[in-house]
Structure 1
Amino acid sequence: MEEIKGSLSKPAAVIACIGMTLFYVATLYAPTLILRLPPPHSFNNFMTRRFICAAVSSVAFVIICALLLPIRSGDASYLFGVYGIRSDHIWQAVLLPLFLTSLMYAGSLVLLASKWMEHRNQDRRPLLCCIKTTLLRFPSQMSSVASDVLFWRNLVVSSILNSNFNEQAPLTEELVFRASHLNHMAEIYSRHNYSLREASMVVGLQLGYTVVFGSYASFLFIRTGNLACPLVAHVFCNYMGLPVLFVQRKGLVSVAFVAGTLSFAWLLFPLTRPDLYNERTNSCRCWQGYCLWN
């Protein structure tokens, strides 16, 4: 594989990031503000329109990045590798980041387990009967989830304002774009009858959380060179919501959160070692070169 020479200058990288941010947000509002299309008559139509806008932006950004980055090969596997789209080491890329991210949710998982146990005690059915019922319901539940537009919004496709502020789009954000979320200020202020102070607090908390998670997701991609790593972590975080730190009369939840956080800090670098996700080679496909062994 041909070694990449040259690099993208920092000013060019900053300008490109700002330009893509503005273009992404503008594309989301383009149907009504630019194309002057009538408002969608249903929520599903609104979401479909947003999905199309996000897809257009994402395709455009993939092409723009391919032109900006110092890529010197047109081979398909090489180009996919630049974006971290790879089939090798897939189990490591899925399981290790999932386990690492779940450590930050140790308190949440303990809380879910305690609620399940409480429900189990109230149900008073044999454990095997509960497991059988759950397995029988699983196909229909998956079918219902797959046909739910909210599932595709929150866990797959596009970054859209919703009541659960920490949900952003794994696919579009991890592939080419990470939203700034500041555009939500006007929507919260005007459509949800929030005061300017309340809207600022909501967006500020949202922005703070997404900056922290964005840094973590970018760290995963740089360390591993595999898009599946931040994608899996993003989907899991969207599903779980904010980590649970404290629950009244359930001290074990706080203990679990602290233990999980310490374990996360201890295992962060060992579980993201580049050699776990790449062959020990000097021709790594990561364009930024962080996975090279020389």
Structure 2
Amino acid sequence: MAVVFALESWQAVLLCLLFALIYVGSLYVWADSVNKNRDHPKTIKRRFASVGIISLIVPPILWSFSKTDESVNAHSIFEFLGIRFSGLIQALILPLVLTMILFLGPLALHYTAGVCRLYLEPKYWANSFSNLMWIRNRLVAPFSEEFIFRACMLPLLVPVFGANLSVFICPIFFGVAHFHHMIEKVVNGQQEVKEAFKTSSFQLCYTTVFGAYSAFLFLRTGHVMAPIIAHAFCNHMGFPVFAEVMGYQQPTRTKLIAAFVIGLVAWLFLLFPMTSPYLYGNTVYHV
């Protein structure tokens, strides 16, 4: 069934805020969920169940705020959520390659340190898929967060704010949602309040920046899998540790610095060509 979203701006913002609160709140519905370490196996399994349920609950809520539209250019709720077959292969490959180009410097660091050899070991992958934290960071978190914070929010924001502005509004919910880690750090005695605030503020900044990139990928490709794949890769790589470069002697240091610069320049140059809506058959969103 073809639908359209036509809410007031304040309604769209409040609904997005509701989705964010539901998602974060679901992590704490379990008894002793605040006091128990987030990396505890029992906590991880419970949160897997929580975000799985939320991922099923939010789409019907979103759909309830839509209106039937039988016009020629109308789209289904699944298309608005970025769930479609047209251009799927491209969405699985091109955004990942683009993100790897951006991370050319960190990838060069991995190669220089010999980390890349691990990826050729079957034992590495066997251990990874039996590690709950690995599964959380590389699979469950990317899927659930991108689905809720991109696929379910952007259909509401784009009609009232436009695609370009929505790219910068949407990640605010995503960045602020990560601030809940501060509570866990303080309650569990991992950090003092001041230090936890600094750490969480830094996380707020870079998750907001990534959220803008992720929203851009979603709107350009029209596929939720594009930001999911990019998110999983970024979680795997972690925030670039630029200081590691200075620990190498010349000429390795210069080569690594060059890799960081070349990666950023190439990413900027390829950002729009590699995310062209034409490549993905995207007629749902335009940015």
Q: Aligning the two structures, in what range does the TM-score lie when normalised by the shorter sequence?
A: 0.7 to 0.9
- The superposition leaves residues 240-288 of structure 1 with CA deviations (integer Å, 9 ceiling, x where unpaired) of 1112435113222121111111111111111111001006xxxx3x2xx
Structure-to-structure mapping, 1:84-99, within 5 angstroms: 84-99=82-97
Which ranges of 4 or more aligned residues in structure 1 deviate by more than 6 Å? Answer: none
- Whether contact under 8 Å (1:24, 1:54) holds in the other structure is yes
Q: How many residues align?
A: 250
Aligned counterparts of 1:201 and 1:134: Cα–Cα separation in 2: 34
Aligned counterparts of 1:108 and 1:192: Cα–Cα separation in 2: 32
Aligned counterparts of 2:20 and 2:221: Cα–Cα separation in 1: 25
- Whether contact under 8 Å (2:5, 2:65) holds in the other structure is no
Aligned counterparts of 1:183 and 1:134: Cα–Cα separation in 2: 33
SS in 1 for 2:29: helix
Tell me the amino acid that sits aligned with residue 8 of structure 2. S
Structure-to-structure mapping, 1:141-290, within 5 angstroms: 141-157=124-140, 169-177=141-149, 178=174, 180-246=177-243, 247-248=245-246, 249=249, 250-278=253-281, 284=283, 286=284, 289-290=285-286
- The superposition leaves residues 30-68 of structure 1 with CA deviations (integer Å, 9 ceiling, x where unpaired) of 1227xx9x979x932221111111112221111111222
More displaced, 141-150 or 197-206? 141-150
Aligned counterparts of 1:261 and 1:203: Cα–Cα separation in 2: 26
Aligned counterparts of 1:226 and 1:6: Cα–Cα separation in 2: 18
Return 5+ residue gaps in structure 1 as ranges.
Answer: 121-130, 158-168
SS in 2 for 1:183: helix
- Whether contact under 8 Å (1:8, 1:70) holds in the other structure is no
Tell me the amino acid that sits aligned with residue 174 of structure 1. E
1:161 corresponding residue in structure 2: none
Aligned counterparts of 1:113 and 1:28: Cα–Cα separation in 2: 36
2:107 corresponding residue in structure 1: 109
- The superposition leaves residues 110-154 of structure 1 with CA deviations (integer Å, 9 ceiling, x where unpaired) of 1122223xx99xxxxxxxxxx9x986x42x433332222112211
Aligned counterparts of 1:39 and 1:191: Cα–Cα separation in 2: 7
* Aligned-residue identity in percent: 33
Aligned counterparts of 2:241 and 2:230: Cα–Cα separation in 1: 17
- Whether contact under 8 Å (1:105, 1:244) holds in the other structure is no
1:28 corresponding residue in structure 2: 27
With over 3 angstroms needed to count, the CA separation of the structure-2 counterparts of 1:148 and 1:17, relative to structure 1, is same
Q: TM-score, normalised by structure 2?
A: 0.78
Return 5+ residue gaps in structure 2 as ranges.
Answer: 150-173
Aligned counterparts of 1:189 and 1:44: Cα–Cα separation in 2: 20
SS in 2 for 1:182: helix
1:166 corresponding residue in structure 2: none
SS in 2 for 1:84: coil
Q: TM-score, normalised by structure 1?
A: 0.76
Indicate the RMSD between aligned Cα atoms, in angstroms: 2.9
Aligned counterparts of 1:235 and 1:189: Cα–Cα separation in 2: 27
Aligned counterparts of 2:68 and 2:138: Cα–Cα separation in 1: 31
1:163 corresponding residue in structure 2: none
- Whether contact under 8 Å (2:119, 2:125) holds in the other structure is no
